[in-house]
Amino acid sequence: MTSTTPGNSRRRTHRKRAYAPRLPLAERREHLLDAALRVLAREGYDRISIEAIAKEAGVTRPVVYGAFDGLEPLLNHLLDRTQRRALDAVARFMPENPDLSDPDGFLLELVAGVIDAVRAEPEVWGPVLGLIQGAPAVVRDRIEGDRRAIRARFEHLLAVGLEIRGGPDLDVELLSHMIFVSVEHFGRLVLEEPERFTRERLVDGLAGLLAAVQPGPAPDGAAAGGDR
């Protein structure tokens, strides 16, 4: 029997919806995260909401609230899923003790690996590379933290690589920032214009630049390197 409350004059003009199939909590959470990813890929962060995810998943909002405490925790879980894969991929390219005997070769393999990973899982790398727009603060802050950590690790490897390479004597921190944002940009170019910016073109282009960067002392006695 339908209850009515004072002031509620709306009549039930629509059939009650069928119940969604019941799922254990763990399965429901994965189901909802998959739905969230589809909404995100199709409409971006601007349009993501508990309401939109519920619709995409074919359930009602209380079901979503039963699995997550709100949009922010849900997005955090989604990031847990995708960022873990991104960080795993990065860990493969930048292991703890890499073979840096050929520093230029190492960098080129790293870049090639990043490009392959980006092409293989655009749904993982899209948010990281800022290609899914309108990200809320929870997503931006999380990704920014990951980026800082990865760049710091890269800076360390770069310092070692430049030593092995015999120079040039440069501001390693600054150089790591420049290489980092360039490689990120490679990722965006590969996703946005895959036929114009092929893997080969990007890797060859970087190889050409590395070949032009002499290890010896810069003739002008340029800036000292290293952290401040």
Interface ranges with a copy of itself (CB under 8 A): 46, 130, 133-137, 140, 167-171, 174-175, 177-178, 181-182, 184-185, 189, 196-197, 201-202, 204-205, 207-209, 211-214, 218-220, 222-223, 225, 228
**Which two structure tokens, joined as six digits, stand for 51?**
């309401």
d(CA 147, CA 126): 14
Measured from the CB atom, is 23 or 138 closer to a copy of itself? Answer: 138
Please tell me whether residue 32 binds DNA under the rule CB under 7 A. no
* Partner whose footprint covers residue 24, from a copy of itself, DNA, none (CB < 5 to 8 Å by kind): DNA
Contact letters (x/-) for DNA, 61-90, by CB under 7 A? Answer: xxx-xx---xx-------------------
> Minimal distance in Å, beta carbon 49 to DNA?
3
**Residue 97 lies near DNA (rule: CB under 7 A):** no
Which pair of structure tokens corresponds to residue 111?
A: 């870049």
Least distance between a copy of itself and beta carbon 63 (Å): 27
Considering CB distances under 5 to 8 angstroms, the limit depending on partner class, which of DNA, a copy of itself, none binds residue 207? a copy of itself
DSSP string, 46-58: GG--HHHHHHHHT
Q: What gap in Å lies between CA 76 and CA 26, rounded to an integer?
A: 16
Residue 16 as a binder of DNA (CB under 7 A): the answer is yes
Instruction: Return the closest-CA partner of residue 210 out of 130, 126, 125, 103.
Output: 103
CB of residue 80 to DNA, shortest distance in Å: 19
Q: Give the Cα separation of 150 and 94 in Å (integer).
A: 9
Preceding amide of 168 cis, omega within 30: yes
Give the dihedral sign, CA 93/191/180/83.
Answer: negative
Residue type (1 letter), 105: G
By a kind-dependent CB cut-off of 5 to 8 A, residue 209 interacts, out of a copy of itself, DNA, none, with: a copy of itself
Cα 146 to chain centroid, rounded: 9
Residues lying near DNA in the complex (CB under 7 A): 1-5, 7-8, 10, 12, 16-25, 28, 47, 49-52, 58-63, 65-66, 70-71
